[in-house]
């Protein structure tokens, strides 16, 4: 058989895919389906509705920049983790992982890109909440005489951002570990709640374990905007290690090793 | 068209090399010590019934499934180590594994961004696989299997790779589509590209491939060029007096067996059978090379076994 003499072969010196391109692709995947698009839009709509509702019904002394911002962080705190979960689990539930991981077989790079994208979404949500809060507060000042106070500490903003990012990364970790959209979302919300209930019923758990292993409880001091103590930081760190770092590490381990089907 | 035959400092050996590959799930062995090679400039057909281990083998080559033993390399490299691999190895593993809410164009756009290609490449590929602009903007949930396959081919060719690995790409295509695919892959191979494509239908592979690898129950059962495999089965002959023909052949030292449809089969060439018949004065009404019967029988055997396994009701002792 007379075969042609030479063929193009594999070029091992070709440039790899830079992280910026992976991030660009993942950002686009976040909003290029109806589900993803409406999840992002619904966060904005809910925030706008909350502002409107507060302007109509809230007492004047509660119509401040700080309280408007705080209210808006509640729906985003719920929806951002869902967004982070779907960003990971859709690769398995829609089986797009087959394509994603053949384009970039170094899965840790894909995971990093997805994590960067969820953090970008988180920061965008905080910025949007600040902007909508400011607009709401200006309107409050116009329509309600005694309202519209602007005093808010940077500590308060910083803590809000920190908590948002924690919810988000926790959702991301749950998504990687569980790999199924529905199960990951249910467990993300149910598991900490069930644990909190059990821990507060059993006296020994309540006294010895819960203060260090209940993330919701450890996050409480950070929601007020007041300064927090070193002890409270330590409790946050320990419970975050259990509820955020552990799922993240185990989830990454699972994602890197499992078979893509 | 993909410009696969870049006359770079190439190699003439195997572009895809699978050596002693094994993979089992629990107690079930999906791939059992499989070895084969695919050379550039040829379309290699990977043939076997459903569940024979074709998809698992291809997934291992693309680094999506870890193997228990053996190795699969592309020009000597593991898929995982190749930089921006989709621009060098085009892979289509399951045309239906796409988000139903994305359009075909969006899927190609995402691929082009990741691979760092100009967006004009998306239009070129859509045109190549004959997806019209309006079809390309439709959601994939509204695509027929044939359209998904065309999109999958477009995605595999997007990065202008030197190697193509396609799992059941002809599945769901109509006869015109199969003809189109044949032309596309032939041209790709002619330009120096390497193609490995799987199918569970002998006829499909026969039409498209130059070389064949047959797999059954995780093991390679036959491999070689299409000519070798399809024409190794001797001669089919039918005589006016069948007994006289058998006797004449026996006297000439040629064994034969009835073929079941009134003719007979021998290991000899048609020419030898014709000479024997002429010398003995036996009238022959039909005489031809028994093309592909060997492979077809082998394949039917493999398929029948799988089908029997599936249709045996539980609890029935055999």
In chain B, how many domains are there? 2
Residue B158 is assigned to a structural domain of this protein: yes
For A177-206, give the secondary structure using H, E and C.
HHCCHHHHHHHHHHHHHHHHHHHHHCHHHH
Q: At residue B316, does pLDDT exceed 60?
A: no
**If you ran DSSP here, which 8-state letter would residue A225 be given?**
S
Q: Which residues of A are less than 8 Å from B66 in CB distance? A: 257, 259
On whether the CB atoms of residues A175 and A86 are closer than 8 A, the answer is: yes
Q: What is the pLDDT of residue B150?
A: 95
Q: What is the pLDDT of residue B292?
A: 54
* Partners of B164 in beta bridges: B90, B195
Count of C-beta atoms within a 10 Å radius of residue A221? 17
- Say whether A12 and B85 touch across the interface (CB within 8 A): no
Q: What tens-digit pLDDT sequence spans chain A (261 residues)? A: 444 445 678 999 999 999 999 999 999 999 898 888 898 888 889 988 988 998 888 888 788 888 888 888 888 888 999 999 999 999 998 899 999 999 999 999 999 999 999 999 999 988 998 998 899 888 888 887 766 788 878 888 889 889 999 999 999 999 999 999 999 999 999 999 999 999 999 999 998 899 899 999 999 998 877 788 999 999 999 999 999 999 999 999 999 988 888
Average pLDDT for B288-301: 70
- Give the tokens for residue A35: 């589900």
Average pLDDT for B16-43: 94
Residues B182 and B263 in one domain: no
Give the gap in angstroms from C-alpha B192 to the nearest C-alpha of chain A: 6
Residues B157 and B178 in one domain: yes
Residue B303 is assigned to a structural domain of this protein: no
Core vs surface per residue A88-125: b (16+ CB within 10 A) or e: bbbbbbbbbbbbbbbbbbbbeebbbbbbbbbbebbeeb
Residue B310 is assigned to a structural domain of this protein: no
Q: What is the pLDDT of residue A115?
A: 96
Closest residue in A to B87 (Cα–Cα): A103
Angle formed at CA A29 by CA A28 and CA A32, multiple of 5 degrees: 80
Q: What is the pLDDT of residue A117?
A: 95
> Does B118 reach chain A within 8 Å, measured CB to CB?
no
Residue B47 host element (H or E): strand B43-47
Residue A118 host element (H or E): helix A107-143
* Partners of B222 in beta bridges: B214
- Say whether B6 and A103 touch across the interface (CB within 8 A): no
Closest alpha carbon to A221 in A207, A237, A205, A206: A237
Q: What is the pLDDT of residue B273?
A: 87
Average pLDDT for B86-108: 95
Range 32-51 of A in CB contact (< 8 A) with B = 32-35
Predicted-complex ipTM score: 0.88
Give the gap in angstroms from C-alpha B9 to the nearest C-alpha of chain A: 7
- Give the tokens for residue B318: 């055999």
Find the domain containing B248 and state its range.
235-290
Range 121-160 of B in CB contact (< 8 A) with A = 155
Residue B315 is assigned to a structural domain of this protein: no
Strand B235-239's sheet: what is its strand order? B256-258, B264-266, B235-239, B284-289
> Does B88 reach chain A within 8 Å, measured CB to CB?
yes
Domain boundaries, chain A: 19-253
pLDDT band at residue B131 under the 50/70/90 scheme:
very high
Residue B91 is assigned to a structural domain of this protein: yes
Q: What is the pLDDT of residue B310?
A: 46
Residue B306 is assigned to a structural domain of this protein: no
B185 Cβ neighbours under 8 A, 6+ residues apart: B43, B164, B195, B197, B208
- Per-residue pLDDT tens for B234-288? 788 888 888 888 899 898 888 887 776 678 878 788 888 899 999 989 999 888 7
pLDDT band at residue B123 under the 50/70/90 scheme:
very high
């Amino acid at each position: 058989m007379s075969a042609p003499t030479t063929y193009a072969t594999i070029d091992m010196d070709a440039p790899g895919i830079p992280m910026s391109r992976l991030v660009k692709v993942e950002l686009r995947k976040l909003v290029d389906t109806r589900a993803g698009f409406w999840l992002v839009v619904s966060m904005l709509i809910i925030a706008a509705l909350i502002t409107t509702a507060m302007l109509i019904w809230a007492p004047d002394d509660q119509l401040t920049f700080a309280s408007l911002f705080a209210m808006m962080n509640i729906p985003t705190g719920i929806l951002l983790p869902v967004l982070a979960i779907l960003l990971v689990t859709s690769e398995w539930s829609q089986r797009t992982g087959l394509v994603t991981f053949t384009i970039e077989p170094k899965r840790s790079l894909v995971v990093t890109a997805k994590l960067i994208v969820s953090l970008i979404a988180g920061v965008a949500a905080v910025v949007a909440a600040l902007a909508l809060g400011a607009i709401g507060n200006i309107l409050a000042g116009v329509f309600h005489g005694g309202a519209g106070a602007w005093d808010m500490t940077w500590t308060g903003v910083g803590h809000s951002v920190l908590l948002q990012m924690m919810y988000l990364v926790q959702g991301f970790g749950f998504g990687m570990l569980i790999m199924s959209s529905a199960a990951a979302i249910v467990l993300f919300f149910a598991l900490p709640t069930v644990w909190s209930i059990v821990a507060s019923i059993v006296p020994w758990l309540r006294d010895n374990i819960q203060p260090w292993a209940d993330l919701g409880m450890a996050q409480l001091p950070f929601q007020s905007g007041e300064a927090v103590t070193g002890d409270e930081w330590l409790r946050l760190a320990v419970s975050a290690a259990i509820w955020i770092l552990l799922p993240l590490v185990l989830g990454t381990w699972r994602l890197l090793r499992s078979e893509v089907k | 068209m993909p410009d696969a035959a870049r006359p770079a400092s190439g190699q003439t050996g195997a572009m895809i090399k699978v050596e002693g590959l094994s993979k089992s799930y629990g107690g079930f062995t999906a791939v059992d010590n499989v070895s084969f090679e695919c050379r550039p400039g040829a379309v290699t057909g990977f043939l076997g019934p459903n569940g024979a281990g074709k998809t698992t083998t291809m997934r291992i080559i693309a680094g999506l499934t870890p193997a228990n033993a053996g190795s699969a390399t592309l020009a000597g490299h593991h898929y995982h180590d190749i930089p921006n691999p989709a621009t060098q190895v085009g892979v289509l593993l399951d045309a239906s594994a796409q988000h139903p809410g994305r359009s075909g164009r969006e899927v190609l756009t995402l691929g082009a961004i990741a691979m760092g290609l100009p967006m004009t490449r998306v239009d070129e590929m859509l045109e190549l696989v004959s997806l019209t602009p309006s079809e390309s903007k439709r959601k994939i949930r509204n695509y027929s299997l044939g359209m998904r396959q065309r999109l999958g081919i477009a995605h595999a060719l997007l990065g202008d790779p030197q190697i193509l690995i396609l799992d059941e790409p002809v599945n769901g295509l109509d006869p015109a589509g199969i003809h189109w695919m044949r032309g596309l892959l032939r041209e790709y191979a002619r330009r120096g590209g390497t193609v490995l494509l799987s199918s569970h239908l002998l006829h499909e592979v026969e039409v498209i491939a130059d070389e064949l690898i047959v797999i059954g129950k995780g093991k390679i059962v036959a491999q070689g060029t299409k000519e070798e495999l399809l024409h190794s089965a001797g001669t089919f002959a039918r005589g006016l007096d069948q007994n006289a023909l058998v006797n004449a052949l026996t006297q000439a030292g040629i064994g034969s067996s009835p073929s079941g449809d009134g003719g007979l089969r021998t290991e000899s060439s048609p020419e030898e059978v014709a000479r024997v018949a002429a010398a003995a004065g036996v009238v022959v009404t039909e005489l031809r090379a028994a093309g592909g019967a060997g492979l077809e029988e082998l394949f039917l055997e493999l398929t029948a076994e799988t089908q029997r396994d599936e249709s045996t009701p539980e609890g029935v002792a055999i």
